[in-house]
Structure 1
Amino acid sequence: MRLFAGILAHLGLPLTQKFNVTGNRVMVGDLGKKFDPTIAEHAEVIAPFNIRGRRNIHKYKPKKGHLGRVNVWQNDAPLSDKKILVFGNSFFAEGTSQYHLTWWLSQYFAQVHFVWAVSPDWKLVDKMQPDILICQTIERFMRNPPKS
């Protein structure tokens, strides 16, 4: 939630929803499992709230791995009419849970396209003409630096 609020602030958009933190959830990611002892993260749990008019209009999951996953969310009652295209990883993810940044974006914006990728697909960017383009990765994938 805090990162989502920061993204909105960076875009100059208001955070109009009040969120009620009801507790914490301990989560262990794929990298945290590889340490002994396991490294966990603590995430705030937000009380359920009105999920406006969001619905999943397209989903693709490759037979193996995460790269290439696609989820497209349409919001029929958005707070912003902007269309977002995200190339990212598990920090954004599919948008099926409040622990995915795509979930938060899909609450606010008219359309959110998430593609699990290390680099942007410039042909898709040209085809979609999104209002906002977000490209996100993490250091451990920098052995495959994004292509321009």
Structure 2
Amino acid sequence: MLQAETAELALKIQAGKAELQLMLQAGTADLELMLQAETAELALKLQAGTAELALVVQSETAELALKLQAGTAELELMLQAETAELALMLQAETAEQFVLQAETAELALMLQAETAEQLVLQAETAELALMLQAETASRYRLGKRSWRSSYRLG
């Protein structure tokens, strides 16, 4: 009877061990499945995050490229406007120089006309002086004759 009880206990122990091994295997398999599920979920989240970051980077890059193009276009327009303004200023300066040259030429012509007028006046003065000298000489001769005549008569 002791042998039968011992054999029964040994069978119960073996059955318990087998049950514990099955439970351990089931728990291990369960944990492995949970680990695989968590790993797959994390991999999907990582892929989604990576894709989202890639989209954000692409969006930011496109936005920066547009801002760069806009800034470049704005700078080009500003440069063109400045160049046009400088060209107009240069044209205005050139036109002003032409006006000054024309005024200088006009003043030179006026000076030449004034000089010519002075020369004409000098010539007329010289002519009048010569005429006066001639008149004086003629009167002197007439006066001399008249004096001689009255001296002879006297």
**TM superposition score category, shorter chain reference:** under 0.3
Max Rg structure: 2
Greater RCO between the two (CA within 8 Å, min separation 6)? Answer: 1
Q: TM-score, normalised by structure 2?
A: 0.10
Normalized per residue, the structure richer in helix is 2
Normalized per residue, the structure richer in strand is 1
Q: TM-score, normalised by structure 1?
A: 0.11
